[in-house]
Amino acid sequence: MASKDATSRRDDDEVCPVCKSSRYLNPDMRFLINPECYHKMCESCVDRIFSGGPSNCPVAGCRKTLRKNKFRKQTFEDIGVEREVDIRRRVMQILNRREEEFDSKRAFDDFLEQREEIIMNLVTRVDVAKTESQLQKYATENMQSIRTNQALEVEEAHSFQARMTLEQEEAKLRRQAARQEYEIERRELQAGREDFLSRLASGSSTDAAAIAREGHKVLLKKSSARRSEEERIRQKQAALRGTEGKRGASGLSSMESAGGPDTGLVKGLRKIKTPEPEKPYDPFMGYVPEKRDYYSLQSYYPSTYLDPIRQDTRMQAGGYDLGEYYSRTLLEAFAGLSCFVGEEISQRDASKPVATEGAAMAATGGENAS
């Protein structure tokens, strides 16, 4: 809007500093600037000079090489403001850390101050080379987090827009409902009155007072019933809105896992702990099946004791498996070979004080004090 104001100003004296043609002669003249040097010139000059590729700025004393695609309309009348806004936008796009990425409010404030300092340095041309290199370094190092934060910002803007339109829609509906309600009430009042009059006309004069009272009561009842009905609908809608809002919020919070290492430029960033990748499901949960440390199991052991079983189809049919017998016998023969009771006891005793670390610390603390 500001740009429109700037260009639509019918200032006949305005003159292009390059070709010296004035608005008086060329009423459709529009001025463009290039953020490289912010020298103003008219559209036809830009076409004329830069259509053939990059060229030097035609303003005397300015040697900046300009490109046509960088020319744009001026937003602010003051070129200084225009330039500061451009710089600010660029720096903000790079240093786009969010408050939730910092350890404390203090750290975030420090970051904001630092950003402001960088912007002012660039605007006032103090330490430009150093600041630029700092920015460049930061941008390359934190490409990922910059991108995610940009995406977050875009999403926030979208959701804000959506919320605003929703609210407007709701307000419109509310207004409509109110109008409708008023209309219905008015119509009912009218109908009640007519009814009352007709009943008065047909009935005797003695029960006129009774009819009047009754009519009034019915009217009241109707309106209160309607009100409660509407109240219920409104509550339902509010509940619906609530859940929707929550869903939106949760969607946003799930996005917040951006961040990177504590770089040299920005201090006090929260250490982001990436969630450990889920381990593949182990059906045995760490136990080792068929662990045989001291022996290997064979499928056949010659034994006259077991021969009758090998021939017994009934046992075989019941599912009896001699392999299990071999396995159990060997397990029992070798069981306990790797167990050292003494070691287990000392380990258990050693592990005990750990559980009461607090007590131990308290004890040593007491000693120190005395």
Residue ranges binding another protein (CB under 8 A): 278, 280-281, 283-285, 287, 289-291, 293, 306, 309, 313-322, 324-325, 327-328, 331, 334-339, 341, 344-345, 348
How near is the Cβ of 320 to another protein at its closest, in Å? 4
β-partners of residue 305 are none
N residues, the chain: 370
Q: How many angstroms separate the CA atoms of 93 and 117, rounded? A: 15
Cβ neighbourhood burial of 21 (10 Å; 0-12, 13-18, 19+) = middle
Name which of 63 and 348 has its Cβ closer to another protein: 348
Q: Provide the residue type at 67 as one letter.
A: R
Name which of 280 and 302 has its Cβ closer to another protein: 280
How near is the Cβ of 295 to another protein at its closest, in Å? 12
How near is the Cβ of 350 to another protein at its closest, in Å? 14
Where would I find the H helices in 127-256? 128-141, 143-202, 208-255
Q: How many CB atoms lie within 10 A of CB 72?
A: 13
Q: Output the six-digit token pair for 340.
A: 């050292």
How near is the Cβ of 192 to another protein at its closest, in Å? 48
Q: How many angstroms separate the CA atoms of 25 and 185, rounded? A: 66
Name which of 19 and 315 has its Cβ closer to another protein: 315
By three-state DSSP, how is residue 333 classified? helix
Name which of 129 and 317 has its Cβ closer to another protein: 317
Q: Provide the residue type at 34 as one letter.
A: N
Q: Which of 127, 124, 125, 139 is nearest to 91 (CA)?
A: 139
How near is the Cβ of 314 to another protein at its closest, in Å? 4
How near is the Cβ of 318 to another protein at its closest, in Å? 3
Name which of 59 and 330 has its Cβ closer to another protein: 330
Name which of 203 and 323 has its Cβ closer to another protein: 323
Name which of 204 and 351 has its Cβ closer to another protein: 351
Q: How many angstroms separate the CA atoms of 129 and 324, rounded? A: 80
Q: Output the six-digit token pair for 241.
A: 């809105």
How near is the Cβ of 289 to another protein at its closest, in Å? 5
Could you tell me which residues come within 8 angstroms of residue 29 by beta carbon, excluding any fewer than 6 positions away?
A: 14, 16, 21, 22, 23, 42, 43, 44
How near is the Cβ of 253 to another protein at its closest, in Å? 19
How near is the Cβ of 294 to another protein at its closest, in Å? 9
Instruction: Identify whether the C-beta of residue 33 lies closer than 8 Å to the C-beta of residue 76.
Output: no
Q: How many angstroms separate the CA atoms of 97 and 219, rounded? A: 62
Q: Output the six-digit token pair for 4.
A: 């429109």
How near is the Cβ of 299 to another protein at its closest, in Å? 14
Name which of 78 and 278 has its Cβ closer to another protein: 278
Name which of 27 and 289 has its Cβ closer to another protein: 289
SS (H, E, C) 40-79: CEEHHHHHHHHCCCCEECCCCCCCCEECHHHCEECCCCCH
Name which of 205 and 313 has its Cβ closer to another protein: 313
Instruction: Identify whether the C-beta of residue 293 lies closer than 8 Å to the C-beta of residue 337.
Output: yes
